[in-house]
Amino acid sequence: MIEFEQFRLANGLNVVVAENKKAPIVAFDLLYHVGSKNENWGRTGFAHLFEHLMFEGSLHAPGKLFDELLQNVGGENNAYTTEDLTNYYELIPSHEVELAFWLESDRMRFLNINQDTFENQRLVVIEERRQRVDNQPYGTAMEKLASMIYDKHPYRWPVIGYVDHLMDSTLDDVTSFYQRFYSPDNATLILSGDISLNRAQDLSEKYFGEFKASAGIKRDFDFDQVLISEKRDTIYDSVQLPAFFMGFPTVSETHPDYLALDLLADILSNGKSSRFYQDLVYNRRLAQSVSAFQEQNEHPGVFGLYGIVRPGVDIQTLEDFTYGHIGKVAEYGVTEAELEKVKNLSISSVINRMQGVANIADFMSRYAGVYQNPGYVNELIQKVEAITTSDIQRVASTWFSPSNRAVLHYLPKVLS
C-alpha cells in the first residue's frame, strides 16, 4: 500500500506526493502526456527526439548545466518516451530537492535549443536506433508487425521513428511541438520519498505556479478498423535461427478484459512452469524461446506471440503449436491452481515495483499522468485477485482468430 496526497495548481499541474522518510532522497518524476501517438506521419520519432533536446539547455540553465548541477549533488536523471507519454525523472538527495524544481520548471517554460544541438541530438538518436533496432537480430520485428496491424492509428510506427523522418524534422517543429504539448496542464509531477506535503506545495507553487495553462491540448488521431483478414509476410534477415512474430489487435489498459489478457499471457509464458516453456521449449524441444505478452497502452494495443525455433525445426510447426495453445485455453479453460499461480507471480511483481522511492514514483507516474488516478497502484492487487478462470477462457475465445492477426516470419538470409 502506497500512501499519497494529490493536489492541483490553478494552471492545471497535477502533483502527487508519496512521502517516505526511510532514506534522505526524493524521486522527482515529471510526466508529460505526450508520446509517439501524438506525432504525424512524416515526423515519426519526434516525441522521443524532443525528449533528448530537453537536456540541451534552457534560458537560466544553459548548455549542459542541467546535468552538471544534478551530478554535482549526487543526483541521477534520465527520461523515457513511449507511445503515450514522456517521463523525465531525477533521483536526488532530499536537501537538494529545490534544485530539481528549478531545473524542471525552467525547461518546461524556457527551453532554448539551437541548430547545432538539434542536429547533434538527431545524430545521437539515429545511432540509438541503429544500436537498438537496425543492428540487432530480429530488431525490426515489432515495428514491422505494428505496421501490419494498424492501418491509420499512430501505433503503427515505432517510438524511435524512421531515419528519413528524423532527418526531415526542423527547429520549427521543435518550437511548435513544445508549445503544443509542454504546458503545466499536460503534466503531472510525482514526488516520492523524503519530502512533506507542505514543502511539496510550497515548491510546486513557487516554481510552476506562475506558468499559464495551455488553451487546451488538441489530440487528433484516427482510430482503426479491426483487421478483417489475416496478413502475412516473410523477412529475410541476418539471423541464425528462424522466428515467427504474431500479433492480434486487442484492448487498451482501461478495458475490462485487459488484466485477464495479461494473466492469459502469464499462463502461457511467464516462468519455467508456464505452458509454453513446459510444452514447446522443454518437452517437445521445438522452440529456443517462446513468449506471449499483452501490450499496456492507452489506446487498444496488441497481444503478441513470438517464438524462435530450434535448429532443424520447421517454423510453421512451431507457429501452429504456439497458436494452438490459445485454442486449448478457449476450449478447455485453465485450472484454478494455474490461475492462482500467475496471480501470485503478478502480485509479487506489483510488490517489487513498490520498493524504493524511484520505483514507486515510476509505478505511479503512468496512472497519475495518463488517467489522473495514482491510487490505481493500490487497487491493482485486488483487481488481479478478482479475475476468474472463466474470465481467462472468455478472453481466449473472444480476441483471437486467424482472420484477426498479422504474422511475420524471419528467415536467415542466404548470402550469395
Residues between 75 and 114 with contacts to other proteins, criterion CB under 8 A: 75-76, 91, 93-96, 98-99, 101-102, 105-106, 110
Binding-site member from 120, 140, 373, 401 for other proteins (CB under 8 A): 120
Of 11-19, 118-126, 177-185, 383-391, the segment contacting other proteins by CB under 8 A is 118-126
Please give the C-alpha separations between residue 168 and each of 11, 32, 345, 348, in angstroms, as whole numbers: 34, 24, 45, 45
Q: Does 10 bind other proteins (CB under 8 A)?
A: no
Contacts of other proteins in 259-318 (CB under 8 A): 270-274, 277-278, 282, 285, 288, 308, 310-311
- Rounded to a whole number of angstroms, the minimum distance from the CB of residue 69 to other proteins is 7
Measured from the CB atom, the residue of 147 and 288 that comes closer to other proteins is 288
Measured from the CB atom, the residue of 271 and 327 that comes closer to other proteins is 271
Binding-site member from 41, 62, 119, 176 for other proteins (CB under 8 A): 119
Binding-site member from 3, 10, 40, 68 for other proteins (CB under 8 A): 68
Are 119 and 56 within 8 A, CB to CB?
Answer: no
Per-residue burial over 167-194, b = 16 or more CB atoms within 10 Å of its CB, e = otherwise: eebeeebbeebbeebbbbbbbbbbbbbb
Are 222 and 251 within 8 A, CB to CB?
Answer: no
Nearest C-alpha neighbor of 369 from the set 97, 6, 3, 2 = 6
By rule CB under 8 A, what count of residues binds other proteins?
Answer: 79
- Rounded to a whole number of angstroms, the minimum distance from the CB of residue 345 to other proteins is 5
Binding-site member from 357, 370, 406, 408 for other proteins (CB under 8 A): 357
Q: Which three cell numbers stand for residue 28?
A: 522527482
Which residues, 6+ apart, have CB-to-CB distance to 280 below 8 Å?
286, 287, 290, 307, 318, 321, 322
Q: Which three cell numbers stand for residue 365?
A: 507516474
Binding-site member from 213, 345, 380, 411 for other proteins (CB under 8 A): 345
Of 144-152, 225-233, 254-262, 353-361, the segment contacting other proteins by CB under 8 A is 353-361
Q: Does 348 bind other proteins (CB under 8 A)?
A: yes
Nearest C-alpha neighbor of 146 from the set 87, 48, 237, 231 = 231
Binding-site member from 335, 355, 390, 403 for other proteins (CB under 8 A): 355
Contacts of other proteins in 127-186 (CB under 8 A): 127-128, 130-131, 134-137
Measured from the CB atom, the residue of 96 and 295 that comes closer to other proteins is 96
* Helix, strand, coil in percent for the chain, rounding step 5: 45, 20, 35
Binding-site member from 40, 72, 176, 316 for other proteins (CB under 8 A): 72
Of 4-12, 68-76, 166-174, 388-396, the segment contacting other proteins by CB under 8 A is 68-76
Measured from the CB atom, the residue of 196 and 352 that comes closer to other proteins is 352
Q: What's 399's DSSP letter? A: S
Binding-site member from 225, 229, 240, 416 for other proteins (CB under 8 A): 240
Which residues, 6+ apart, have CB-to-CB distance to 107 below 8 Å?
54, 58, 61, 66
Please give the C-alpha separations between residue 81 and each of 38, 51, 227, 367, in angstroms, as whole numbers: 12, 7, 27, 15
Cell 474470465 belongs to 391
Which run of H or E residues covers position 226?
Answer: none
- Rounded to a whole number of angstroms, the minimum distance from the CB of residue 150 to other proteins is 26
**What is the 3-class SS of 252-309, one letter each residue?**
CCCCCCHHHHHHHHHHHHCCCCCHHHHHHHHHCCCEEEEEEEECCCCCCCEEEEEEEE
Q: Does 207 bind other proteins (CB under 8 A)?
A: yes
Binding-site member from 3, 340, 379, 385 for other proteins (CB under 8 A): 340
Q: Does 24 bind other proteins (CB under 8 A)?
A: yes
Q: Does 376 bind other proteins (CB under 8 A)?
A: no
Of 224-232, 253-261, 344-352, 386-394, the segment contacting other proteins by CB under 8 A is 344-352
Main-chain phi, psi angles of 329, to 5 degrees: -65, -40
